[in-house]
Amino acid sequence: MKRLLGQQQLLSGPGTIPPAADDPAHLPKVSDVSCLPVLLRIPSATCRNPPFCSGLTGANMAAEGDVDLDLEAEENCTGKPAEKPRKHDSGAADLERVTDYAEEKEISSSDLETAMSVIGDRRSREQKAKQEREKELAKVTIKKEDVELIMSEMEISRAVAERSLREHMGNVVEALVALTN
């Protein structure tokens, strides 16, 4: 991220980045990007786009239909003969080809719900555990010079250095011993 932001700043000069750029609350209204309200939203079956532009194919469809046609467009796609898969195409067309789309959905809807709920429970638990661990780690106070010492001595990135230092409760000697194992 650092590098990317760095480029931005370099390009735009100070002050040009909207201060709220990161805050979803300040999201511009959809109309701000009115020219492409559903750009990239509709998966497309057209494969003729150059290999890495699959993300933009939706725009084509969007230009022709409107938002509500979302699903229809998708179904229509399946009817078209799949064109030769290309390298680095994200294979949108074939991936989208869900067999018996509507039918399958009906049959599995209840199953899907239970399955989804199982998955959801599991996920939230996982996230909680992870967050707690992160919180605990975040509480540990570490010294900047310790981090830098670890970075230069072990030739590792700041993130790894910080993490190992936190995991050893800020004890630089222990962290270093662990890293040399």
Partner 1 sequence: MPTITLPPKENALFKRILRCYEHKQYRNGLKFCKHILGNPKFAEHGETLAMKGLTLNCLGKKEEAYELVRRGLRNDLRSHVCWHVYGLLQRSDKKYDEAIKCYRNALKWDKDNLQILRDLSLLQIQMRDLEGYRETRYQLLQLRPAQRASWIGYAVAYHLLEDFEMAAKIVEEFRKTQQTSPDKVDYEYSELLLYQNQVLREAGLHKEALDHLNNYEKQICDKLAVEETRGELLLKLDRPEEASEVYSRLQERNPENWTYYQGLENALKPSSVEEQQKIYEDSWVKFPKGLVPRRLPLNFLTGDKFRECLDSYLRMNFSKGCPPVFTTLKSLYTDKAKVTIIEELVVGFETSLKSCRMFSENDDGKEEPPTTLLWVQYFLAQHFDFIGQPNLALEYINAAIDSTPTLIELFLIKAKIYKHAGNIKEAVRWMDEAQALDTADRFINSKCAKYMLKACLVKEAEEMCSKFTREGTSAVENLNEMQCMWFQTECALAYKAMNKFGEALKKCHEIERHFVEITDDQFDFHTYCMRKMTLRSYVDLLKLEDVLRQHPFYYKAARTAIQIYLALHDKPLTDDNKESQADTENLTDKELKKLRNKQRRAQKKAQLEEEKKNAEKEKQLKNQKKKKEDDDEEIGGPKEELIPDKLAKPENPLEEAVKFLIPLKNLVRNKIETHLLAFEIYFRKEKYLLMLQSVKRAVAIEPSNPWLHQCLVRFFKGVSESADLAEAVRTVLKQEISRLFGESNPQSFNKNYLSQHSNSIPHRLAAAKMMVYLEPSSDKMACEIATALDESLSGSSIQICTEVLEALRDGQLGDGQQKAAEAYRAACHKIYPYCLAFMPPGYQDNSTTISANGDLSAGEHDDMANEM
Binders of partner 1 among 15-34, rule CB under 8 A? 16-18, 21-22, 24, 27-28, 31-34
Question: For residues 151-170, which are near partner 1 according to CB under 8 A?
Answer: 153-155
Q: Which of 6, 76, 95, 131 binds partner 1 (CB under 8 A)?
A: 95
Length of the chain: 181
**Alpha carbons within 13 A on the beta-carbon side of 175:** 24
Question: Please, which residue, 48 or 139, has the CB nearer to partner 1?
Answer: 48
Q: Which of 6, 75, 105, 133 binds partner 1 (CB under 8 A)?
A: 105
* Two tokens, residue 149: 């010492």
Question: Please, which residue, 102 or 136, has the CB nearer to partner 1?
Answer: 102
3 makes contact with partner 1 (CB under 8 A): yes
Q: Which of 45, 73, 77, 96 binds partner 1 (CB under 8 A)?
A: 96
Map tokens 């805050």 to a residue.
23
Q: How far is CA 160 from CA 68, 155, 176, in A?
A: 46, 10, 12
Asked if 178 and 164 count as a contact pair (C-beta separation under 8 A), the reply is yes
